[in-house]
Amino acid sequence: MASAHARIPRHSSARAMLRATGLFGLAFVIFAAVLLAAGKDPIRAYRDILSSTLVDRYGFSEVLVKMIPLMLTALAVAIPSRIWLINIGGEGQLYMGALFATWAATYFAALPAWELLPLVAALGFLGGGLWAAISGVMRAYGWVSETISTLLLNYVAILIVSFFVFGPWKDPESANYPQTAEFVAAARLPTFFGTRVHLGLLIALVAFIVYHVVLTRTRWGLEIRAMGGNMEAARRSGIAIGRYVLVLMFIGGGLAGLAGVGEVSAIQGRLRPSLSPGYGYTGFLISWIAGGNPYGIVASALLMAVITAGGDVLQMAHRLPGSVVNILMALMLFVVLARRRVP
Protein backbone atom coordinates (compact mmCIF):
# COMPACT_ATOMS: atom_id res chain seq x y z
CA MET A 1 0.00 0.00 0.00
CA ALA A 2 2.82 2.40 0.85
CA SER A 3 4.54 1.80 -2.46
CA ALA A 4 1.34 2.39 -4.37
CA HIS A 5 0.85 5.63 -2.50
CA ALA A 6 4.39 6.70 -3.37
CA ARG A 7 3.81 6.09 -7.06
CA ILE A 8 0.88 8.47 -7.28
CA PRO A 9 2.83 11.72 -7.03
CA ARG A 10 5.35 10.58 -9.68
CA HIS A 11 2.64 9.63 -12.16
CA SER A 12 0.74 12.81 -11.46
CA SER A 13 3.90 14.90 -11.88
CA ALA A 14 4.73 13.23 -15.20
CA ARG A 15 1.24 13.86 -16.51
CA ALA A 16 1.39 17.49 -15.39
CA MET A 17 4.74 18.02 -17.10
CA LEU A 18 3.51 16.42 -20.33
CA ARG A 19 0.30 18.46 -20.16
CA ALA A 20 2.17 21.73 -19.68
CA THR A 21 4.64 20.88 -22.46
CA GLY A 22 1.88 20.04 -24.90
CA LEU A 23 -0.11 23.19 -24.15
CA PHE A 24 2.92 25.43 -24.44
CA GLY A 25 4.00 23.68 -27.65
CA LEU A 26 0.63 24.19 -29.31
CA ALA A 27 0.57 27.87 -28.30
CA PHE A 28 4.07 28.38 -29.69
CA VAL A 29 3.09 26.78 -33.00
CA ILE A 30 0.10 29.12 -33.31
CA PHE A 31 2.26 32.09 -32.34
CA ALA A 32 4.79 31.10 -34.99
CA ALA A 33 2.02 31.41 -37.55
CA VAL A 34 1.28 34.91 -36.21
CA LEU A 35 4.94 35.87 -36.60
CA LEU A 36 4.99 34.51 -40.16
CA ALA A 37 1.90 36.55 -40.99
CA ALA A 38 3.76 39.63 -39.70
CA GLY A 39 6.69 38.85 -41.99
CA LYS A 40 9.03 37.69 -39.19
CA ASP A 41 11.13 34.56 -38.86
CA PRO A 42 9.69 32.59 -35.88
CA ILE A 43 12.74 30.32 -35.55
CA ARG A 44 15.07 33.28 -35.29
CA ALA A 45 12.70 35.00 -32.85
CA TYR A 46 12.60 31.97 -30.55
CA ARG A 47 16.37 31.55 -30.80
CA ASP A 48 16.94 35.18 -29.85
CA ILE A 49 14.60 34.85 -26.86
CA LEU A 50 16.41 31.77 -25.55
CA SER A 51 19.90 33.19 -26.12
CA SER A 52 19.05 36.42 -24.28
CA THR A 53 17.48 34.69 -21.30
CA LEU A 54 18.70 31.17 -20.59
CA VAL A 55 22.21 31.57 -22.03
CA ASP A 56 23.08 35.08 -20.92
CA ARG A 57 23.94 35.39 -17.19
CA TYR A 58 22.11 38.66 -16.65
CA GLY A 59 19.16 37.50 -18.72
CA PHE A 60 18.85 34.29 -16.71
CA SER A 61 18.95 36.23 -13.43
CA GLU A 62 16.06 38.38 -14.70
CA VAL A 63 14.15 35.21 -15.56
CA LEU A 64 14.55 34.06 -11.96
CA VAL A 65 13.39 37.48 -10.73
CA LYS A 66 10.19 37.17 -12.74
CA MET A 67 9.70 33.55 -11.70
CA ILE A 68 9.38 34.44 -8.01
CA PRO A 69 6.03 36.29 -8.12
CA LEU A 70 4.76 33.96 -10.85
CA MET A 71 5.39 30.86 -8.73
CA LEU A 72 3.83 32.38 -5.62
CA THR A 73 0.71 33.66 -7.38
CA ALA A 74 0.33 30.33 -9.21
CA LEU A 75 0.53 28.52 -5.89
CA ALA A 76 -2.09 30.93 -4.55
CA VAL A 77 -4.41 29.54 -7.22
CA ALA A 78 -3.33 25.91 -6.94
CA ILE A 79 -3.94 25.50 -3.20
CA PRO A 80 -7.65 26.49 -3.16
CA SER A 81 -8.19 24.65 -6.44
CA ARG A 82 -7.59 21.34 -4.65
CA ILE A 83 -11.16 21.66 -3.34
CA TRP A 84 -12.52 23.25 -6.53
CA LEU A 85 -12.18 26.87 -5.42
CA ILE A 86 -11.29 29.25 -8.25
CA ASN A 87 -9.11 32.06 -6.96
CA ILE A 88 -8.69 34.75 -9.62
CA GLY A 89 -7.67 37.31 -7.02
CA GLY A 90 -3.91 36.80 -6.97
CA GLU A 91 -3.34 40.28 -8.35
CA GLY A 92 -5.34 42.01 -5.62
CA GLN A 93 -3.87 39.78 -2.93
CA LEU A 94 -0.39 40.68 -4.18
CA TYR A 95 -1.25 44.38 -3.91
CA MET A 96 -2.65 44.02 -0.39
CA GLY A 97 0.41 42.07 0.70
CA ALA A 98 2.58 44.88 -0.63
CA LEU A 99 0.41 47.44 1.16
CA PHE A 100 0.69 45.72 4.54
CA ALA A 101 4.42 45.17 4.03
CA THR A 102 4.88 48.87 3.23
CA TRP A 103 3.07 49.81 6.42
CA ALA A 104 5.43 47.59 8.43
CA ALA A 105 8.53 48.91 6.66
CA THR A 106 7.43 52.52 7.17
CA TYR A 107 6.15 52.56 10.74
CA PHE A 108 8.67 50.13 12.23
CA ALA A 109 11.70 51.40 10.32
CA ALA A 110 13.73 51.80 13.53
CA LEU A 111 13.81 48.03 14.13
CA PRO A 112 16.93 46.03 13.22
CA ALA A 113 16.82 43.90 10.08
CA TRP A 114 16.49 40.60 11.95
CA GLU A 115 13.23 41.87 13.47
CA LEU A 116 11.95 44.09 10.67
CA LEU A 117 12.26 41.65 7.75
CA PRO A 118 10.21 38.87 9.41
CA LEU A 119 7.63 41.48 10.41
CA VAL A 120 7.41 42.81 6.85
CA ALA A 121 7.01 39.28 5.46
CA ALA A 122 4.47 38.27 8.11
CA LEU A 123 2.31 41.34 7.57
CA GLY A 124 2.56 40.90 3.81
CA PHE A 125 1.31 37.34 4.17
CA LEU A 126 -1.43 38.54 6.51
CA GLY A 127 -2.55 41.26 4.10
CA GLY A 128 -2.90 38.90 1.16
CA GLY A 129 -4.47 36.20 3.31
CA LEU A 130 -7.11 38.47 4.81
CA TRP A 131 -8.01 39.84 1.38
CA ALA A 132 -8.56 36.31 0.07
CA ALA A 133 -10.41 35.33 3.26
CA ILE A 134 -13.11 37.88 2.41
CA SER A 135 -14.03 35.76 -0.58
CA GLY A 136 -13.59 32.62 1.49
CA VAL A 137 -16.16 33.78 4.02
CA MET A 138 -18.67 34.70 1.33
CA ARG A 139 -18.12 31.33 -0.36
CA ALA A 140 -18.35 29.33 2.88
CA TYR A 141 -21.73 30.90 3.69
CA GLY A 142 -22.98 30.52 0.12
CA TRP A 143 -23.37 34.26 -0.46
CA VAL A 144 -21.14 34.87 -3.49
CA SER A 145 -19.05 32.67 -5.75
CA GLU A 146 -15.35 33.05 -5.01
CA THR A 147 -14.72 33.28 -8.76
CA ILE A 148 -16.64 36.55 -8.98
CA SER A 149 -15.61 38.04 -5.64
CA THR A 150 -11.86 37.41 -6.05
CA LEU A 151 -11.92 38.89 -9.53
CA LEU A 152 -13.75 42.04 -8.45
CA LEU A 153 -11.64 42.48 -5.34
CA ASN A 154 -8.57 42.81 -7.58
CA TYR A 155 -9.74 46.24 -8.69
CA VAL A 156 -10.65 47.29 -5.16
CA ALA A 157 -7.17 46.37 -3.89
CA ILE A 158 -5.46 48.32 -6.67
CA LEU A 159 -7.59 51.38 -5.90
CA ILE A 160 -6.79 51.12 -2.19
CA VAL A 161 -3.06 51.06 -2.95
CA SER A 162 -3.49 54.05 -5.26
CA PHE A 163 -5.30 55.94 -2.50
CA PHE A 164 -2.39 55.54 -0.10
CA VAL A 165 0.30 56.17 -2.72
CA PHE A 166 -1.37 59.33 -4.05
CA GLY A 167 -2.50 60.39 -0.59
CA PRO A 168 -1.19 59.93 2.96
CA TRP A 169 1.88 57.83 2.08
CA LYS A 170 3.05 59.90 -0.89
CA ASP A 171 6.73 60.82 -0.69
CA PRO A 172 6.92 64.65 -0.56
CA GLU A 173 10.35 64.51 -2.20
CA SER A 174 9.25 62.48 -5.23
CA ALA A 175 8.52 65.50 -7.48
CA ASN A 176 4.81 64.67 -7.67
CA TYR A 177 5.54 61.10 -8.77
CA PRO A 178 3.10 58.76 -6.96
CA GLN A 179 5.22 56.59 -4.70
CA THR A 180 6.08 56.16 -1.05
CA ALA A 181 9.39 57.02 0.53
CA GLU A 182 12.19 54.54 -0.05
CA PHE A 183 12.43 51.67 2.41
CA VAL A 184 15.26 51.67 4.92
CA ALA A 185 18.02 49.14 4.28
CA ALA A 186 16.80 46.93 7.14
CA ALA A 187 13.46 46.43 5.32
CA ARG A 188 15.04 45.30 2.05
CA LEU A 189 15.18 41.60 1.23
CA PRO A 190 18.74 40.45 0.53
CA THR A 191 19.80 39.73 -3.06
CA PHE A 192 22.33 37.21 -4.34
CA PHE A 193 25.52 37.36 -6.44
CA GLY A 194 25.18 40.99 -7.46
CA THR A 195 21.87 40.38 -9.27
CA ARG A 196 18.24 41.24 -8.50
CA VAL A 197 17.50 37.62 -7.53
CA HIS A 198 16.36 37.85 -3.92
CA LEU A 199 15.39 35.78 -0.92
CA GLY A 200 11.88 35.41 -2.28
CA LEU A 201 13.15 32.64 -4.57
CA LEU A 202 14.03 30.46 -1.56
CA ILE A 203 10.72 31.34 0.08
CA ALA A 204 8.83 30.25 -3.04
CA LEU A 205 10.73 26.95 -3.28
CA VAL A 206 10.14 26.20 0.41
CA ALA A 207 6.44 26.95 -0.10
CA PHE A 208 6.31 24.39 -2.92
CA ILE A 209 8.02 21.75 -0.79
CA VAL A 210 5.62 22.34 2.11
CA TYR A 211 2.65 22.25 -0.28
CA HIS A 212 3.75 18.92 -1.71
CA VAL A 213 4.51 17.35 1.67
CA VAL A 214 1.25 18.50 3.27
CA LEU A 215 -0.80 17.34 0.30
CA THR A 216 0.78 13.87 0.05
CA ARG A 217 1.97 13.02 3.57
CA THR A 218 -0.48 14.47 6.11
CA ARG A 219 -4.03 13.96 7.29
CA TRP A 220 -4.88 17.47 6.11
CA GLY A 221 -3.73 16.51 2.64
CA LEU A 222 -5.84 13.35 2.74
CA GLU A 223 -8.93 15.32 3.68
CA ILE A 224 -8.20 17.91 1.00
CA ARG A 225 -7.88 15.18 -1.63
CA ALA A 226 -11.12 13.63 -0.35
CA MET A 227 -12.94 16.94 -0.79
CA GLY A 228 -11.45 17.36 -4.25
CA GLY A 229 -12.61 13.89 -5.21
CA ASN A 230 -16.16 14.04 -3.86
CA MET A 231 -17.28 17.05 -1.85
CA GLU A 232 -20.60 15.54 -0.74
CA ALA A 233 -18.96 12.32 0.46
CA ALA A 234 -16.37 14.37 2.37
CA ARG A 235 -19.14 16.40 4.01
CA ARG A 236 -20.99 13.25 5.10
CA SER A 237 -17.74 11.88 6.50
CA GLY A 238 -17.62 14.79 8.93
CA ILE A 239 -14.97 16.93 7.24
CA ALA A 240 -15.49 20.63 8.02
CA ILE A 241 -15.82 21.97 4.47
CA GLY A 242 -16.31 25.60 5.48
CA ARG A 243 -13.18 25.59 7.62
CA TYR A 244 -11.08 24.30 4.75
CA VAL A 245 -12.54 26.89 2.41
CA LEU A 246 -11.42 29.67 4.75
CA VAL A 247 -8.00 28.18 5.52
CA LEU A 248 -7.05 27.37 1.94
CA MET A 249 -8.19 30.75 0.66
CA PHE A 250 -6.24 32.48 3.43
CA ILE A 251 -3.06 30.50 2.75
CA GLY A 252 -3.35 31.02 -1.00
CA GLY A 253 -3.89 34.74 -0.57
CA GLY A 254 -1.01 34.91 1.88
CA LEU A 255 1.38 33.43 -0.66
CA ALA A 256 0.26 35.98 -3.24
CA GLY A 257 0.86 38.60 -0.55
CA LEU A 258 4.44 37.34 -0.22
CA ALA A 259 4.85 37.97 -3.94
CA GLY A 260 3.91 41.58 -3.23
CA VAL A 261 6.44 41.68 -0.39
CA GLY A 262 9.18 40.64 -2.78
CA GLU A 263 8.26 43.32 -5.29
CA VAL A 264 8.24 46.23 -2.83
CA SER A 265 10.99 45.03 -0.51
CA ALA A 266 13.51 43.61 -2.98
CA ILE A 267 12.78 44.96 -6.47
CA GLN A 268 11.33 48.45 -6.16
CA GLY A 269 12.26 49.38 -2.59
CA ARG A 270 9.04 51.35 -2.18
CA LEU A 271 5.33 51.12 -3.00
CA ARG A 272 4.16 52.35 -6.39
CA PRO A 273 0.76 52.06 -8.10
CA SER A 274 2.41 50.19 -11.00
CA LEU A 275 3.46 47.42 -8.65
CA SER A 276 2.68 44.44 -10.87
CA PRO A 277 2.49 43.96 -14.64
CA GLY A 278 -0.22 41.33 -14.09
CA TYR A 279 1.65 38.66 -12.12
CA GLY A 280 -1.57 37.55 -10.44
CA TYR A 281 -3.38 36.90 -13.71
CA THR A 282 -0.36 35.17 -15.25
CA GLY A 283 -0.05 33.03 -12.13
CA PHE A 284 -3.64 31.93 -12.62
CA LEU A 285 -2.82 30.88 -16.17
CA ILE A 286 0.28 29.00 -15.00
CA SER A 287 -1.67 27.07 -12.38
CA TRP A 288 -4.29 26.06 -14.90
CA ILE A 289 -1.71 24.92 -17.42
CA ALA A 290 0.05 22.83 -14.77
CA GLY A 291 -3.17 21.42 -13.35
CA GLY A 292 -2.12 22.58 -9.87
CA ASN A 293 0.87 20.21 -9.80
CA PRO A 294 3.92 21.78 -8.08
CA TYR A 295 6.45 20.47 -10.60
CA GLY A 296 4.33 21.61 -13.50
CA ILE A 297 3.92 25.05 -11.91
CA VAL A 298 7.69 25.53 -11.59
CA ALA A 299 8.26 24.46 -15.20
CA SER A 300 5.42 26.63 -16.50
CA ALA A 301 6.59 29.61 -14.44
CA LEU A 302 10.07 29.22 -15.93
CA LEU A 303 8.73 29.28 -19.47
CA MET A 304 6.43 32.21 -18.74
CA ALA A 305 9.32 34.12 -17.21
CA VAL A 306 11.43 33.43 -20.30
CA ILE A 307 8.63 34.73 -22.51
CA THR A 308 8.16 37.85 -20.39
CA ALA A 309 11.88 38.60 -20.14
CA GLY A 310 12.36 37.90 -23.85
CA GLY A 311 9.64 40.33 -24.86
CA ASP A 312 12.17 43.18 -25.02
CA VAL A 313 14.22 41.20 -27.54
CA LEU A 314 11.23 40.92 -29.85
CA GLN A 315 10.73 44.67 -29.63
CA MET A 316 14.35 45.68 -30.21
CA ALA A 317 15.69 43.01 -32.56
CA HIS A 318 12.52 42.22 -34.52
CA ARG A 319 10.70 45.56 -34.28
CA LEU A 320 7.56 44.01 -32.90
CA PRO A 321 5.21 45.89 -30.55
CA GLY A 322 5.40 45.22 -26.83
CA SER A 323 1.91 43.74 -26.90
CA VAL A 324 3.22 40.74 -28.83
CA VAL A 325 4.01 38.99 -25.53
CA ASN A 326 0.40 39.49 -24.45
CA ILE A 327 -0.71 37.87 -27.69
CA LEU A 328 1.34 34.77 -26.91
CA MET A 329 -0.05 34.58 -23.36
CA ALA A 330 -3.58 35.03 -24.68
CA LEU A 331 -3.01 32.16 -27.09
CA MET A 332 -1.92 29.99 -24.18
CA LEU A 333 -5.06 30.89 -22.29
CA PHE A 334 -7.25 30.02 -25.26
CA VAL A 335 -5.45 26.69 -25.67
CA VAL A 336 -6.05 25.89 -21.99
CA LEU A 337 -9.73 26.85 -22.15
CA ALA A 338 -10.28 24.95 -25.40
CA ARG A 339 -8.68 21.78 -24.08
CA ARG A 340 -11.09 18.91 -23.48
CA ARG A 341 -10.21 16.41 -20.76
CA VAL A 342 -9.88 12.91 -22.09
CA PRO A 343 -11.62 10.36 -19.80
Give residue-wise pLDDT tens across range 284-322: 989 988 887 888 899 889 988 988 887 777 877 777 777
Q: Is pLDDT at 67 greater than 90 in this prediction?
A: yes
| Inter-axis angle of helices 90-107 and 57-81, nearest 10 | 110
Tell me the sheet residues that pair with 198.
191
Residue 152 has pLDDT above 50, yes or no: yes
Given a contact cutoff of 8 angstroms between Cβ atoms, the answer to whether 210 and 104 are in contact is no
Q: 10 Å Cβ neighbour count for 210?
A: 13
**Which has the closest alpha carbon to 146: 334, 291, 284, 340?**
284
Sequence-ordered strand ranges (E) for 57-115: none
* Closest of 6, 12, 16 to residue 300, by C-alpha: 16
Q: Could you give the angle at the alpha carbon of 301 between the alpha carbons of 319 and 296, nearest 5°?
A: 135
**211-257: per-residue pLDDT in tens?**
999 988 998 889 998 888 888 888 888 888 889 999 999 999 999 99
Can you say whether the dihedral through the CA atoms of 8, 281, 89, 84 is positive or negative?
negative
Bridge partners of 191?
A: 198
Confidence of residue 10 (pLDDT cuts 50, 70, 90): low
Burial label for 68, CB within 10 Å (0-12, 13-18, 19+), is: buried
pTM of the model: 0.89
Predicted confidence band at 1 (pLDDT cuts at 50, 70, 90)? very low
